[in-house]
């Protein structure tokens, strides 16, 4: 089994770091320096890098880490991210330290976004900037419909799947989610817990799919209370779930 560490980077990024049998894999190393410090402190080397999408705060460390450690770099196909030597798309399977990871294409935040899923006893999902605890990524390149379909790939995963998002956005996401669903008891409880954790500078991740299904409005676009909130905000009739997602994403952008 992996030991998984969050390496903090920039103001609110986590570079998730997987350790098994002295092999190390990092996900989305936007900054090489904290990764290098982590490895040097423990006398480890870097075996592989997993990349979810092209944004610089996820890819900025590739070149320097490859120069130092000559590691494998997995990431989205397309040739637009320098340093990737194994290009991946929906349905591909890779092996990391003897554990299989399936690749999902998850466009919405960007068009090239992919996510990594290991279906083991306690399943692992590395979803980059697609799903956050209590929220989802901004739609920089994709459509609400694309994000909706991407998030649906996560909703059906085993409920105990651990969800490793790249950013510590949980508190601000839940503060918004409460606006959408003020009467959601699970959401109110989680926001109180998260506020407490953040006061102590604790990490609120990983989340789980079962938690997200209860508290994340972007996974709850089919729920009557979320549809109603979207209609009240947009002052229009909203019939499809993906339209609900579009409205609440736009609402969050202006929140």
Binding site for Zn ion (CB under 5 A): 55, 129
Residue closer to Zn ion by CB (options 69, 132) is 132
Question: Treating both helix axes as pointing N-terminal to C-terminal, what angle do 170-180 and 224-234 enclose, rounded to 10 degrees?
Answer: 80
Residue 8 CA to residue 19 CA, distance in Å, equals: 16
Residue closer to Zn ion by CB (options 55, 220) is 55
Give the CB-nearest residue to Zn ion: 55
CB 108, min distance to Zn ion, A: 11
Residue closer to Zn ion by CB (options 55, 190) is 55
Q: How many residues does the chain have?
A: 255
CB 137, min distance to Zn ion, A: 6
Asked, as a colleague might, if the bond just before 27 is cis with ω within 30 of 0, I would say no
CB 76, min distance to Zn ion, A: 12
CB 53, min distance to Zn ion, A: 6
CB 237, min distance to Zn ion, A: 32
Residue closer to Zn ion by CB (options 129, 168) is 129
Residue closer to Zn ion by CB (options 129, 241) is 129
Residue closer to Zn ion by CB (options 129, 181) is 129
CB 112, min distance to Zn ion, A: 10
Write b or e for each residue in 127-153: b if 16 or more Cβ atoms lie within 10 A of its Cβ, otherwise e.
bbbbbbbbbbbebeebebbbbbbbbeb
How many CB atoms are closer than 10 A to CB 186? 12
Residue closer to Zn ion by CB (options 58, 190) is 58
Backbone φ/ψ region at 79: left (φ over 0), alpha (ψ -120 to 50), beta: left
């Amino acid at each position: 089994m992996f030991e998984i560490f969050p390496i903090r980077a920039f103001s609110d990024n986590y570079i998730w770091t997987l350790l098994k049998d002295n092999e190390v894999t990092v996900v989305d190393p936007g900054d090489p320096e904290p990764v290098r410090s982590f490895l040097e402190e423990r006398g480890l080397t870097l075996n592989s890098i997993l990349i979810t999408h092209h944004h610089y705060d996820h890819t900025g460390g590739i070149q320097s880490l490859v120069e130092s450690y000559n590691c494998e770099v997995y990431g989205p196909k397309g040739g637009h991210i320098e340093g990737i030597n194994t290009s991946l798309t929906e349905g591909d399977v890779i092996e990391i330290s003897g554990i299989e990871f399936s690749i999902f294409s998850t466009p919405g935040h960007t068009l090239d976004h992919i996510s990594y899923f290991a279906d083991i006893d306690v399943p692992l999902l590395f979803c980059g900037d697609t799903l956050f605890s209590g929220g989802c990524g901004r739609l920089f390149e994709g459509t609400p419909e694309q994000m909706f379909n991407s998030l649906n790939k996560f909703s059906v995963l085993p409920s105990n799947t651990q969800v490793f998002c790249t950013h510590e956005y949980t508190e601000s996401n839940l503060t918004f989610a409460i606006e959408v669903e003020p009467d959601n008891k699970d959401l109110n409880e989680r926001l109180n817990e998260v506020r407490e954790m953040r006061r102590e500078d604790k990490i609120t991740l990983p989340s789980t799919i079962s938690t997200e299904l209860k508290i994340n409005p972007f996974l709850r676009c089919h729920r009557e209370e979320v549809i109603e909130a979207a209609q009240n905000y947009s002052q229009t009739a909203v019939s499809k779930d993906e339209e609900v997602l579009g409205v609440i994403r736009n609402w969050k952008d202006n929140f």
